[in-house]
Structure 1
C-alpha cells in the first residue's frame, strides 16, 4: 500500500522592511531574512538544512525572485546556489510588490502583492519572468510554484500551465478569502485543476472549548509538533491523506523586534519543533515517504485526494497556546 507523501516546504524571501511606509528605511535582505545571522550564528536556512540533513529529510525551498528590482540578481542567485549545493530543491515563489521598486515612488504601491490582483495575461508574464530568472540561477527550470500570501486564483493555475509548471501549492483552506479564488470546493489533498496539480498546505480542525472551531495549517510557527504528529499519525496508508504539505519560512526561527531586524531574538521552541518533526519522520521512514517536489515529480504522480480534515485533541492545541504565550512574548 502506498505510503503518505510528506513535503516540507520553506518560503524563502526578503522583507520590505517598512520601506513603503518610510522611504528612509530599506528592505531587509539575505543576511537576516534568509540566512538568519544573529550574534555570529545562522538561524535561517543553514540551520533548517542542518537539522533536516541530520535525519535525511529532503526539503523544497520556494524562493522569491522579483526582489531583483531592489536587490539585483546576485542576492537570490547566491541563495539558490547555496540550497542546491547542499542537495535540496528550489522552486518558484513570487511577491509582485517588489515591482514597485521600478517606480520613482515605491511607496505609492502601484503594484499589488497578490497574484490574483492581475489578469491572466499579466500573471503569465510574471510567472514567465520568474521561471526565466530561476532557471538561470539554478541551471534547470522550476516545476512548482507558490504565490506570496497564498494570494493566487484560478488564473494563476492557468498561467502556470501555459508556462509548463506541474504543481501549484498556493491553496490554504485556513485562508478562505484567497483559497476560494483558486477553487470553490474545500480541499486538503492533491487535486488536478486547470491543467496543474494543486497541492494544498495541509490543515486540521482545531476545536477548543470556549474558543471555537477553526482550520489550522501545518505551519511550523503556528502549530506544535504534537499537533503535526497527530495529523500525520491519522494519515496512515489507505485511511488518511495521501499528501501532507508542511510550511515554514526562511526566518521561522527568528523573531524580529523591529521592522529592520536590527534587534532579534531566537525562537528556540520553534527550532525544537522542527528537530522533533525531522526526528519523527526519520523514525517513521518505513511508513512515510518524505520527498522534495522535484524528485517526486520526476518519479511519481499525484492522485486526486479527499477533502478530509482531521481533528486534533483539544488539549494539544491548549498546550500549544500556552507554549506560544510563554516563549513568544
Structure 2
C-alpha cells in the first residue's frame, strides 16, 4: 500500500495590491466560496467531494493575509476545514509580509515573493507567526508546511526544525526544487530527511516533453493521474503527493465552474475511494516517516496521454 497525500493550498488574493482593503470582502467570497450561478465551487465543494468519498485531505492554509484583514476570515476558513474533519497545515505566501498592519519583521519594505529570500532568523519568525495564527483561530498544532510558490531553501528546513514542525512538502523538482540546496544534484521524488525535517516532495513525472511536470489537478488529466498512481504503486514508491488549490475548480475568471477540472477531481476521488486497499489517502498527523536512501527516476507518462491532455486543456481554454 502506498501513502497518497491529497493536498490543497488555501489562499486568498485581491488580484493586485492597490486598494486591497476595499477589495478584500469580495475577493474572500470569490476565492474561498467560489459562488457561481450553479452554486459554490470553491473550498466547500472540494470538502464535500472528499467527504462524499470518505477521503482525508491536507489543507495547507495561508494565514498571513489575516495580519492585514483580521482573524475572523482566517477563523472562517479553519472552521470550514475542521468541521469536515480534514487536516490543517501551514502555508506561507510572503507577499503579505509588507502588507501587515503590525510589522512581522523589522525593516521590511516592498515585496519578497518567496520565503527563500529571507534570512534564517526571518524565516524562523515568519513560520512561528504563521503557525500561531493557525492555532489561535482553531487549527491544531501544525506539523507540516509548504512554502508559497515552492520557494524554499535549506534555511527553511532549519527554520521549521526550530519551530518543531516535522514535515515539509515544498520541494518541487519541476519548480525551484533543484536549486533549493536540498540534496544538490539529486532530483528528489521520494521522502528524505534533511536538517531534522522530513521532506515529502511533490510527485513529478516526465510526459515525453523533455521537462518534468508536477501532479496538479488543473495541470494533469485524470487519465495521467490514474496511470501515474498505478505506476508508482507497482514501483514500490513510498508517497504520492497531489496538489490542488481552493479555487482550482473555477474557470480563470472565477465566474463559473470549470467542468473539465470538476470532473477530474471527482473521478480522482472516486478512484482513490474504490482502491483504498492499494492507496492510503492520509495526512501528516501521526505519520511515521519512511525515507529512501537512493532516489529513483521520476515517473513517466506516455506521450499519447500528454497529447490527449493538451487537447483537453485546449478545450478548457476555449470554454473560458
Q: Which residue of 2 aligns with 1:180?
A: 179
CA root-mean-square deviation = 2.0
In structure 1, C-alpha distance between the alignment counterparts of 2:165 and 2:21, rounded to whole Å: 39
In structure 2, C-alpha distance between the alignment counterparts of 1:315 and 1:222, rounded to whole Å: 16
Deviations 1:20-61 (A, max 9, x none): 5x7797346431112212236110111111111121111010
User: Which one of the candidate residues 239, 245, 264 is aligned to 1:243?
Assistant: 239
Kindly indicate whether the alpha-carbon contact (under 8 Å) linking 1:202 and 1:218 is maintained by their aligned counterparts in 2. yes
Kindly indicate whether the alpha-carbon contact (under 8 Å) linking 2:7 and 2:58 is maintained by their aligned counterparts in 1. yes
Question: Aligned pair in 2 of structure 1 residues 44, 182: CA closer, same or farther (>3 Å)?
Answer: farther
User: Which one of the candidate residues 277, 283, 301 is aligned to 1:312?
Assistant: 301
How many residues align structurally?
309
Please list, as runs of the form range in 1=range in 2, the aligned pairs for 1:31-70 lying within 5 A after superposition: 31-39=29-37, 41-70=39-68
Instruction: Determine if the alignment matches structure 1 residue 276 to structure 2 residue 277.
Output: no
Question: Aligned pair in 2 of structure 1 residues 281, 139: CA closer, same or farther (>3 Å)?
Answer: closer
Kindly indicate whether the alpha-carbon contact (under 8 Å) linking 1:18 and 1:25 is maintained by their aligned counterparts in 2. no
Kindly indicate whether the alpha-carbon contact (under 8 Å) linking 1:58 and 1:291 is maintained by their aligned counterparts in 2. yes
Return 5+ residue gaps in structure 2 as ranges: 103-107
In structure 2, C-alpha distance between the alignment counterparts of 1:101 and 1:114, rounded to whole Å: 15
In structure 2, C-alpha distance between the alignment counterparts of 1:165 and 1:217, rounded to whole Å: 24
In structure 1, C-alpha distance between the alignment counterparts of 2:87 and 2:20, rounded to whole Å: 35
In structure 2, C-alpha distance between the alignment counterparts of 1:318 and 1:249, rounded to whole Å: 24
Question: Aligned pair in 2 of structure 1 residues 182, 267: CA closer, same or farther (>3 Å)?
Answer: farther
Q: Which residue of 1 aligns with 2:154?
A: 154
Q: Which residue of 2 aligns with 1:324?
A: 313
Return the offset for 1:113: 2.1
In structure 2, C-alpha distance between the alignment counterparts of 1:129 and 1:234, rounded to whole Å: 40
In structure 2, C-alpha distance between the alignment counterparts of 1:99 and 1:117, rounded to whole Å: 12
TM-score, length of structure 2 as denominator length? 0.91
The DSSP-based 3-state class of the residue aligned with 2:256 is strand
Moved over 2 A (4+): 22-30, 299-308
Return the offset for 1:138: 2.5
Return 5+ residue gaps in structure 1 as ranges: none
Q: Which residue of 1 aligns with 2:170?
A: 170
In structure 1, C-alpha distance between the alignment counterparts of 2:287 and 2:174, rounded to whole Å: 30
The DSSP-based 3-state class of the residue aligned with 1:256 is coil
Instruction: Determine if the alignment matches structure 1 residue 232 to structure 2 residue 229.
Output: yes
Kindly indicate whether the alpha-carbon contact (under 8 Å) linking 1:65 and 1:93 is maintained by their aligned counterparts in 2. yes
34-43 vs 57-66, which moves further? 34-43
In structure 1, C-alpha distance between the alignment counterparts of 2:306 and 2:59, rounded to whole Å: 28
The DSSP-based 3-state class of the residue aligned with 1:255 is coil
Return the offset for 1:328: 2.4
